[in-house]
């Protein structure tokens, strides 16, 4: 769609308010839409209805206590926030985590990407009208959550990643469960595609809707599947791989037109690639420690607490005060399911971070909503919002 | 990232082109950062974006930090990214606090990088940094009529003490 | 038998729990519905009236009173409560992380449709139940209150998760420390986020409350009568109501058995 047109005074314009409580906005997003008939002339997203002050709260907690806080920002892709923060702190400490931890982190990250895309597909298809896809997607989502529960004890917000590695090694049988999951997942994705890919209603609603040229998206700072659907081959997993992404062979799906249909196809293809990465990672999972052995930063194993006085002292210091990070600041970014997720940490030498800021992909991507929707119909705006995949927890933090 | 000598080269060229731009450089944890004086920030960003050889076309993130009690108090960070070379550069504008009711001011870079629109509003909302030339500078995350700049270090955290049986009589409930 | 024989009287003994202090207003077993007669005399009076009704002897005001007491007040209200509890329309009101677990309640694995609550309405005018799933920020609180006000009576609210019950882990300037700061909440479900099963358990608790059979409060449930500050010798003084309730509850629990333990919740 073209750029915003000048609004003439003789147009009969109606400004209505969408949300913050609305069945179709993904969370508490409020949109003020100026309509001429059914055509959107102007659009203003108003956010902040979920602002939780997480960044400020983190300044009051020691580094490992920050991890559960930042998890809850973008609440569907919780592992990615953990990875962004732990990666930033590990960078500040110049830590190199063991290989097994890297692989385990990648497996959980890709499972989380699957989870995020499943939730997206379920709720977006619901917005467009395909209700049954919700039930199919949440069936798989529950299987992913079962895997998370098996490895860390909690379905969502697991605080599984810690500075130095992962908090616990995977239990016996988890690798087998993951393999079984990966074996059946491609058929499930085929099922979703069978419902939606060539569905006439879905095609009519998403084809050529919400097209923004690639250069404009880059100017707006949009990253992730939205940018890739428009044709820009930019993926941080390939461009600046962190953890062990460089060891795996996977493709990055790119779209051509950049409309809603391309975004849908790109995300479904990404789901397939995630399954491939998980398969490769679980096959090549190296042996070794799951977390660093450095007692200054990492809790000692619990069985040592009853025998070694030193371990007890380390444990005590780490739990009550936390480890200190030498002064410095860093920005660490990873490829989240919605785009570039960056974490900026300022350390001032004490046990608490002086500033934690998240560059959240949904927050920046939301600026593209206006460009996508102006000039189209209001029903297309709903669909654009669905394909944009904003998670308001990340937008508002 | 441009490595340490590359960073120094950039700093030298910048100082040659724009007088008094770069105040300091630092290179830590494999990340390059330039500290720039606040009134030259727009020229610096434009130079970094447009000069062939630099071409940092993508602004990853614009965020502010409060360095109280360090001086200068506020730092506005611009995380720049050059996609073809996959190089990141951090530009930090060191803003002193004018004190009292006045807000620290900085030029808005929305014309250069349209992605900065929401992010500058967030810095304004949470730190009280006013961006000159921003098309629509108002609060984005807090309610519109909120008073105070929440993420400044001297702003209280808020919240209330935890309710136990020993203090449950003193804590006012919703019906009181 | 009672009709034919003049001196015979049919008397019913309460088998449940057994001892109940005479004259105590709240001396009922926690599991009994609230409309049960409190004393044996009251029960006898009702029994006689029911007998007269069956014979056709009750008329006029006595008849009306009996109908009101025995039929309308008890049977009808119970039926109403039963109907309301099993056909709750929840409002689709997802705020944050708990919303995703709430959506998965509708999916077949944690099916909430088996309790009658699958019909999630988007409009507050058509919904009965507001499930506050997620943290309530200060910008959102007036909106939530407005939506709650727009709902029609009877309406209930479940605070799902730690954030809406008490502010959760976010003790800061931006989150309201518990939704019951600005609106009445019926059931709090702890967890961060609570499992869908936990939310179903909370929903069942709400159903029992709707039916007029609320679960005992935490002090009764965990046998913690006596942890009130005035009971421990604290600074405050109990009111007469609290004193009576305390005495009655102490009687109930002192005998040992009939401890208000788990009732399946």
Chain segment A3-33, per-residue pLDDT in tens: 455 656 566 788 888 878 887 667 888 889 9
Cβ–Cβ contacts within 10 Å for residue C110, how many?
18
pLDDT for C36 equals 60
Chains that contact C by 3+ CB pairs under 8 Å? A, B
Confidence of residue B171 (pLDDT cuts 50, 70, 90): low
d(CA C111, CA B10): 61
Query: Residue A218 and residue B57: Cβ atoms within 8 Å?
Result: yes
User: What pLDDT is attached to residue B72?
Assistant: 84
* Pair (C230, C154) in one structural domain: no
Q: Three-state DSSP class for B26? A: strand
Closest CA to A92 of A334, A360, A292, A323: A323
Rounded Cα distance between A75 and A390, Å, is 11
pLDDT digits (tens, 9 = 90+) for A90-109: 999 888 889 999 999 999 99
Residue A194, domain CATH = 1.10.645.10
The reply to whether residue C180 touches residue B150, judged by beta carbons under 8 angstroms, is: no
Establish if A367 touches chain B: CB-CB under 8 angstroms: yes
Cis peptide before B72 (omega within 30 of 0): yes
Q: CB atoms < 10 A from the CB of C43, how many?
A: 15
CA angle A24, A145, A227 (to 5 degrees): 50
Rounded CA-CA distance A132/A126 in Å is 8
Q: Find the CB nearest B157 among A60, A221, A354.
A: A60
Partner-chain contact A52 C171, CB within 8 Å: no
Element (H, E) at C207: helix C196-210
Cα dihedral across residues B92, B93, B98, B101: positive or negative: negative
pLDDT mean over A230-251: 88
The predicted model scores a pTM of 0.84
Residues A47-72 have a mean pLDDT of 89
- SS3 breakdown of chain C: % helix, strand, coil, rounded to 5? 45, 5, 50
Tell whether C160 and C200 lie within a shared domain: yes
Task: Chain A: give the shortest CA distance to residue B30, in Å.
Answer: 9
Q: C170, A53: Cβ pair inside 8 Å? A: yes
Cα C130 off chain centre by: 16
Give the count of domains, chain A.
1
Q: Do C174 and A53 touch (CB under 8 A)?
A: yes
CB within 8 Å of A192: residues ≥ 6 apart: A121, A133, A136, A137, A268
Q: Measured over all CA atoms, what is the biggest interatomic distance in chain A, rounded to whole angstroms? A: 83
Q: Find out whether C265 and C215 touch, Cβ atoms under 8 Å.
A: yes
Predicted pLDDT at C253: 64
Q: Which two tokens stand for residue A77?
A: 């892709």
CA distance B16 to A136: 61
- And the tokens for A145? 């959550």
Structural fold of domain B4-132: Beta Polymerase; domain 2 (3.30.460)
What pLDDT was estimated at residue C93?
82
Which of C54, C85, C116 terminates a domain? The answer is: C85
- pLDDT tens for residues A281-327? 999 898 888 888 888 888 888 888 888 888 889 888 888 888 888 99
Please, which pLDDT band fits residue B175 given cuts at 50, 70 and 90? Answer: low
The DSSP bridge partners found for residue A15 are A34
Compute CA distances A67 → A70, A71, A74, A158, A315, whole Å.
5, 6, 13, 10, 18
Mean pLDDT of the C26-40 span? 53
Q: Does position C26 have pLDDT exceeding 90, yes or no?
A: no
In a domain, C259, yes or no: no
Q: Name the band, by pLDDT with cuts 50, 70 and 90, for residue B7.
A: confident
Would you call A55 and B151 a contact, using CB atoms and an 8 Å cutoff? yes
d(CA B116, CA B107): 12
Query: Least CA distance to B172: which residue of chain C?
Result: C181
Segment of A296-310, B9-23, C42-56 carrying the highest mean pLDDT: A296-310
Across C102-115, average pLDDT: 87
Confirm whether C200 is domain-assigned.
Answer: yes
Tens of pLDDT, residues C124-158:
898 889 999 889 998 888 999 999 999 988 889 99
pLDDT of residue A147: 92
Phi-psi category of B86—alpha, beta or left, where left has phi over 0 and alpha has psi -120 to 50?
left
Q: How far is CA A296 from the centre of its chain?
A: 30
Rounded Cα gap, residues A123 and A365, in angstroms: 18
Start-to-end C-alpha separation, chain A: 30
Residue C257 located in a structural domain: no
On whether both C121 and C161 belong to a single domain, the answer is yes
Q: Give Rg (Cα) of chain C.
A: 23
Size of interface A-B (CB pairs under 8 A): 92
For residue range A142-199, list pLDDT tens digits in order. 999 999 999 988 898 988 999 988 988 889 899 999 999 999 999 999 999 998 888 8
Interchain contact, A157 vs C95, CB within 8 Å: no
Report yes or no on C240 lying in a domain: yes
Within-domain flag for C68: yes
Within 8 A of C145 by CB-CB distance, chain B residues are none
Query: Is the model's pLDDT at C162 over the cut of 80?
Result: yes
Q: Residue C234 belongs to what domain range?
A: 218-248
Say yes or no for a CB contact (<8 Å) between C173 and A68.
no
Nearest-by-Cβ selection for C171 from B142, B143, B159: B159
| pLDDT the model gives residue A127 | 85
- 3-state SS, chain A, equals CCCCCCCCCCCCCEEEEECCCCCCCCCCCEEEEEEECCEEEEEEEECCCCCCCHHHHHCCCCHHHHHHHHHCCCCCCHHHHHHHHHHHHHHHCCCCCCHHHHHHHHHHHHHHHHHHHHHHHHHHHHHHCCCHHHHHHHHHHHHHHHHHHHHHCCCCCCCCEECCEECCCCCCCHHHHHHHHHHHHHHHHHHHHHHHCCCHHHHHHHCCCCCCCHHHHHHHCCCCHHHHHCCCCCCHHHHCCCCCHHHCCCCCCCCCCCCHHHHHHHHHHHHHHHHHHHHHHHHCCCCCCCECCCCCCCCCCHHHHHCCHHHHHHHHHHHHCCCCCCCEEEEEEEEECCEEEEEEEEECCCCCEEEEEEECHHHHHCCHHHHHHCCCEHHHHHHHHHHHCCCHHHHHC
DSSP line for B116-146: HHHHHHHHHHHH--EEET-TT---SSS-TT-
Chain A residues with beta carbon closer than 8 angstroms to that of C173: 53, 56
Q: State the pLDDT at residue C227.
A: 73
Residue A265 domain boundaries? 54-93+96-293+326-339
Looking at the domain assignment, is residue A35 inside a domain? no
Q: Is residue C155 part of a domain?
A: yes
Query: What is the pLDDT confidence band of residue A1, given thresholds at 50, 70 and 90?
Result: very low
| Chain B nearest C-alpha distance from C175 (Å) | 8
Q: What is the pLDDT of residue A277?
A: 92
Could you tell me the two tokens for A305? 């607490």
Model confidence band, residue A128 (pLDDT cutoffs 50, 70, 90): confident
CA angle C210, C213, C217 (to 5 degrees): 100
What are B17-38's pLDDT values in tens digits?
887 778 888 888 888 888 888 8
Does B88 have pLDDT greater than 80?
yes
Interhelix angle A78-92/A99-128, nearest 10 degrees: 150
Give me the pLDDT at residue C69, please: 64
The Cα–Cα gap between A368 and A386 comes to: 13
Q: Is residue C119 domain-resident?
A: yes
- The complex's ipTM works out to 0.88
How far, in Å, are A214, A367, A379, C34 from residue A24 at the CA level?
27, 18, 10, 42
Residue C23 confidence (pLDDT): 37
In this model, does residue B174 exceed pLDDT 60? Answer: no
CB-based contact C137 A54, cutoff 8 Å: no
Say whether both C78 and C104 belong to one domain.
no
Helices A260-283 and A378-388: crossing angle in degrees, nearest 10, is 20
Residues A111 and A78 sit within 8 Å (Cβ to Cβ)? no
Rounded Cα distance, A287 and A289, in Å: 7
Single out the residue of C218, C130, C259 nearest to residue B163, CA to CA: C218
A392 touches chain C (CB under 8 A): yes
Interface membership of B158 toward C (CB under 8 Å) = yes
Q: How far is CA C8 from the centre of its chain?
A: 40
Residue C9 counted as domain residue: no
Report chain C's mean pLDDT, rounded to a whole number: 75
Place of tokens 């079984």: A180
Across the beta sheet with A39-46, the strand order is A14-18, A30-36, A39-46
Q: What is the number of structural domains in chain C?
A: 3
Q: For position C21, what pLDDT does the model report?
A: 40
């Amino acid at each position: 769609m073209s750029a915003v047109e000048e609004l003439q005074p003789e147009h009969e314009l109606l400004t209505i308010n969408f949300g913050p409580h609305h069945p179709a906005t993904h969370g508490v997003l409020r949109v003020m839409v100026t309509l001429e008939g059914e055509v959107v002339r102007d659009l203003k997203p108003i956010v902040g209805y979920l602002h939780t002050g997480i960044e400020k709260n983190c300044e009051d907690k020691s580094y490992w206590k920050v991890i559960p806080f930042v998890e809850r920002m973008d609440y569907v892709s919780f592992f990615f926030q953990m990875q962004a923060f732990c990666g930033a702190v590990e960078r500040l400490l110049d830590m190199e985590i063991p290989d097994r931890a890297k692989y385990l982190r990648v497996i959980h990250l890709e499972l989380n990407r699957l989870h995020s895309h499943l939730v997206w597909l379920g709720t977006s298809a619901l917005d467009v009208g395909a209700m049954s896809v919700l039930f199919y997607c949440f069936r798989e989502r529950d299987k992913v959550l079962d895997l998370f529960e098996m490895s860390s004890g909690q379905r969502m917000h697991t605080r599984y990643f810690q500075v130095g590695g992962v908090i616990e090694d995977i239990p016996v049988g988890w690798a087998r469960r993951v393999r079984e999951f990966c074996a059946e997942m491609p058929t499930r994705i085929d099922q979703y595609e069978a419902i939606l890919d060539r569905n006439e209603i879905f095609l009519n609603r998403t084809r050529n809707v919400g097209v923004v040229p690639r250069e404009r998206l880059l100017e707006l700072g949009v990253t992730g599947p939205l940018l890739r659907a428009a044709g820009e081959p930019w993926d941080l997993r390939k461009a600046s791989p962190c953890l062990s992404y460089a060891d795996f062979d996977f493709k990055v799906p790119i779209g051509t037109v950049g409309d809603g249909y391309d975004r849908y196809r790109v995300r479904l293809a990404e789901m397939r690639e995630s399954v491939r990465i998980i398969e490769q990672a679980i096959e090549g999972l190296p042996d070794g420690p799951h977390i660093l052995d450095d007692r200054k930063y990492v809790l000692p194993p619990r069985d040592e607490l009853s025998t070694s006085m030193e371990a007890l002292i380390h444990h005590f210091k780490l739990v009550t005060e936390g480890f200190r990070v030498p002064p410095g600041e860093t920005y660490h970014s990873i490829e989240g399911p919605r785009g570039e997720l960056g974490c900026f940490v300022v350390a001032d030498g004490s046990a608490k971070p002086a500033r934690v800021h998240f560059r959240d992909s949904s927050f920046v991507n939301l600026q593209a909503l206006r460009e996508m929707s102006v000039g189209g119909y209001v029903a297309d705006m709903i669909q654009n919002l669905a394909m944009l995949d904003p998670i308001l927890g990340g937008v508002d933090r | 990232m441009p490595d340490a000598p590359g960073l120094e080269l950039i700093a030298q060229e910048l100082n040659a082109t724009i007088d008094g731009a770069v105040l300091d450089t630092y290179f830590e944890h494999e990340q390059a950062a330039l500290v720039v004086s606040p009134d030259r920030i727009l020229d610096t960003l434009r130079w970094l974006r447009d000069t062939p050889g630099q071409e940092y076309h993508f602004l990853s993130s614009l965020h502010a930090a409060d360095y109280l009690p360090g001086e200068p108090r506020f730092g506005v960070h611009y995380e720049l990214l050059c996609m073809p070379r996959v190089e990141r550069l951090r530009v930090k504008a060191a803003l002193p606090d004018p004190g009292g009711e006045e807000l620290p001011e900085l030029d808005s870079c929305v014309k250069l990088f349209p992605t900065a629109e929401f992010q500058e509003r967030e810095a304004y909302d949470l730190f009280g940094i006013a961006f000159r030339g921003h098309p629509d500078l108002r609060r984005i995350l807090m309610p519109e009529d909120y008073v105070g700049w929440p993420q400044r270090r001297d702003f209280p955290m808020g919240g209330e003490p935890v309710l136990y049986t020993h203090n449950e009589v003193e804590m006012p409930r919703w019906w009181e | 038998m009672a009709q034919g024989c003049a001196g015979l009287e049919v008397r019913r003994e309460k088998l449940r729990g057994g001892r109940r202090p005479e004259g105590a207003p709240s001396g009922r077993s926690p599991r009994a519905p609230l409309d049960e007669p409190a004393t044996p005399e009251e029960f006898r009076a009702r029994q006689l009236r029911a007998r007269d009704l069956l014979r056709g002897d009750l008329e006029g005001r006595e008849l009306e009173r009996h109908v009101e007491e025995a039929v309308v007040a008890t049977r009808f209200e119970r039926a109403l409560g039963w109907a309301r509890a099993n056909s709750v329309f929840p409002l689709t009101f997802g705020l944050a992380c708990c919303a995703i677990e709430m959506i998965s309640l509708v999916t077949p694995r944690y099916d909430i449709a088996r309790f009658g609550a699958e019909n999630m309405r988007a409009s507050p005018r058509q919904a009965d139940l507001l499930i506050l799933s997620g943290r309530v920020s200060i910008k959102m609180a007036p909106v939530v209150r407005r939506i709650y006000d727009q709902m029609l009576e009877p309406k209930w609210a479940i605070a799902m998760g730690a954030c809406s019950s008490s502010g959760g882990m976010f003790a800061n300037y931006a989150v309201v420390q518990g939704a019951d700061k600005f609106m009445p909440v019926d059931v709090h479900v702890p967890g961060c986020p609570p499992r869908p099963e936990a939310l179903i358990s909370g929903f069942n608790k709400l159903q029992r409350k709707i039916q007029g059979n609320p679960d005992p409060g935490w002090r009764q449930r965990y046998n913690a009568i006596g942890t009130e500050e005035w009971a421990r010798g604290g600074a405050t003084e109990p009111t007469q109501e609290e004193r009576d309730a305390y005495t009655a509850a102490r009687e109930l629990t002192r005998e040992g058995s009939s401890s208000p333990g788990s009732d399946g919740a």
